[in-house]
Amino acid sequence: MKKHCLNYLQVSFKKVYNTMNYGGIFRKSFLLLLVVIPVLFLESCSSSGGSKGKGGKSTASSKSSKGRSSKGKGEVASKGKGKSGKNSRSNKKEDVGMQNGEIAAVARKGWKQTTPLGMVLIPSGSYMMGQADEDVTSSSVSFNKRVTVAQFYMDDTEITNNEYRQFTDVMMKDSISVIGEEKIIAEYYPDTTVWSKDFTYHNGDPMTEYYFSSPAFDMYPVVGISWTAARYFCEWRTKAYNDYRTSEGQYISPRFRLPSEAEWEWAARGGKASAKYPWGNPYVANGKGCLLANFKPHRGNYDADGYAYTAPANMFNPNDYGLYNMAGNVSEWTLDAYADNSVAITWDLNTMNDDKDEPRKVIRGGSWKDVAYYLETGTRSYEYENKKRSYIGFRCAMNHLGRSSGKEFK
């Protein structure tokens, strides 16, 4: 190619030179051009010739740099970091970590945190945690304090009887040889006798016999579960979920867990930072007089809301985050240990009291047997971690890794 270009140029310039009749100075200048111009053409031929190989693929070698892919002996193509390299996604299949003695690590592909079934994503935010109205009991255990909560996932309903039954069925089938049937029944199985034991001179036998076993109550919140059992359920749910993800070649997910007290209250307010109740207004009934939750509105009257005991977990309208029964139905276990002075001893970012030596654990939301005061978003109460009650259930939460694009909330 180079030889052909040189011969062609020399012949052409000789023909022009022989036809010219100028003075000596012009002849010398023309001879100089006759030498320089072919050299420039040779450079052009050299660079263009390399790009006209088979299939249009460049055969010229180039230096590798961060943000550009290079393929040479003993090298692997590397994706650029940040915004360098427009075609970095198409040129890169996997992270190489190190390249040519330099750090070339970038974000690993394949990670996407999907919303678990039955959960909703709660956005991060800052709010005044604590009582949203008068402290009618003068307990002074729920002073206001501004806190910030990172975004997280939360079950849209309390864990139902049928959901918890999946756990107990697996435990009875796979874990008897390890844990023992007696321990499973005593610690992790719902104690249905709470319907009779929690109240004196009360006929709770029908609920004791049918509440957990009958299909009629499949969608009702599970009760008779201790704080310890609720946490063990979260561990089992995590293992089942991540075992599946691992089998599909996916990255493991964060753990299911109980929500912290601060997370629970933030979620209950539904984006209304100063809401007294999850539905936003300061009243327990709507304009037509219909009660907005399952609770005890009057002395001796449990049925005014339509349910004498618990209601289905997805009954009544959800709050603005899509969460059902964040007030009433059953109180809910949270992750926090209880302390009267929790405002003073906890931090203001992702607030949590994780005192393992404190057997009292915070419960929130009020229940079917409580008056309206316990339904308020800022009302705190507690129960001992090993106690099982007919009015306490739970729902799970999960950390959200990174920051959301915001599209989930539209």
Average pLDDT over residues 253-278: 95
CB-count burial class (<10 Å; 0-12, 13-18, 19+) for 299 = exposed
The whole-number pLDDT of residue 203 equals 94
Assign 66 a pLDDT band (cuts: 50, 70, 90): very low
Angle made by CA atoms 388, 219, 280, in degrees to the nearest 5? 85
Reduce the DSSP state of residue 27 to 3 states and report it.
helix
> CA 89 from chain center: how many Å?
25
Beta strands in 130-263 (DSSP E): 145-149, 152-155, 256-257
Return the CATH number of the domain spanning residue range 119-409: 3.90.1580.10
Residue 64 has what pLDDT?
39
Coil, strand or helix: which one is 153?
Answer: strand
Residue 15 φ then ψ, to 5° = -65, -45
Burial grade of 243 (CB within 10 A; 0-12, 13-18, 19 or more): exposed
Q: Is the pLDDT of residue 226 over 70?
A: yes
pLDDT in tens, 168-192: 999 999 888 888 999 999 999 999 9
Q: What percent of the chain has pLDDT over 70?
A: 75
Supply the angle between the helices 161-174 and 227-247 in degrees, to the nearest 10.
80
Interval 361-375 mean pLDDT: 97
Q: What is the pLDDT of residue 58?
A: 40
212 sits in the region (left: phi over 0; alpha: psi -120 to 50; else beta) called: alpha
Cα-Cα-Cα-Cα dihedral sign, residues 307, 312, 313, 318? negative
User: pLDDT at residue 294 above 70?
Assistant: yes
* pLDDT recorded at residue 106: 84
CA distance to 241, 245, 253, 276, 405, per residue, from 250 (Å)? 11, 5, 9, 42, 21
How far is residue 237's CA from residue 257's CA, in Å, rounded to a whole number? 9
pLDDT, the chain, mean: 82
* Average of per-residue pLDDT across 403-409: 62
Q: What is the pLDDT of residue 240?
A: 97
What does the pLDDT average to over 332-360? 94
Which span out of 70-79, 113-122, 140-149 was modeled with the highest average pLDDT?
A: 113-122
What does the pLDDT read at residue 403?
Answer: 73
Q: What is the percent of the chain where pLDDT is above 90?
A: 61
Of the pLDDT bands very low, low, confident and very high (cuts 50, 70, 90), residue 136 is confident
Residue spans per domain, the chain: 2-41, 119-409
Per the model's pLDDT, the better-predicted residue between 41 and 359 turns out to be 359
Residue 384 to residues 30, 85, 228, 248, 392: CA-CA distances in angstroms? 104, 58, 10, 40, 11
- Residue range 238-262: mean pLDDT, rounded: 96
Confidence of residue 406 (pLDDT cuts 50, 70, 90): low
Residue 270, pLDDT > 80, answer: yes
Q: Residue written as tokens 């190489």?
A: 96
Say what the pLDDT of residue 82 is. 41
Q: Quick one: pLDDT at residue 212?
A: 97
Q: Which helix (H) or strand (E) holds 220?
A: none
Query: Does residue 381 contact residue 141 with C-beta atoms inside 8 Å?
Result: no
The whole-number pLDDT of residue 42 equals: 54
* Closest to 370 measured CA to CA, from 299, 318, 313: 299
Dihedral sign from CA coordinates of 308, 310, 316, 321: positive
pLDDT at 362 over 90: yes
pLDDT attached to residue 135: 81
Rounded mean pLDDT, 239-249: 95
* 100-104, 146-150, 188-192, 331-335: segment of lowest average pLDDT: 100-104
Tokens (6 digits) for 319: 């709050």
Task: Locate the DSSP E strands across 96-219.
Answer: 98-99, 102-103, 119-122, 125-129, 145-149, 152-155
Confidence band, pLDDT 50/70/90 cuts, at residue 256 = very high
Give yes or no for residue 265 having a pLDDT over 90.
Answer: yes
The model's pTM: 0.75
78 compared with 47, residue with greater pLDDT: 47
Question: Is residue 143 pLDDT above 50, yes or no?
Answer: yes
Q: What is the SS3 assignment for 361?
A: strand
The residue among 41 and 199 whose pLDDT is bigger is 199
Mean pLDDT on 102-122 = 88
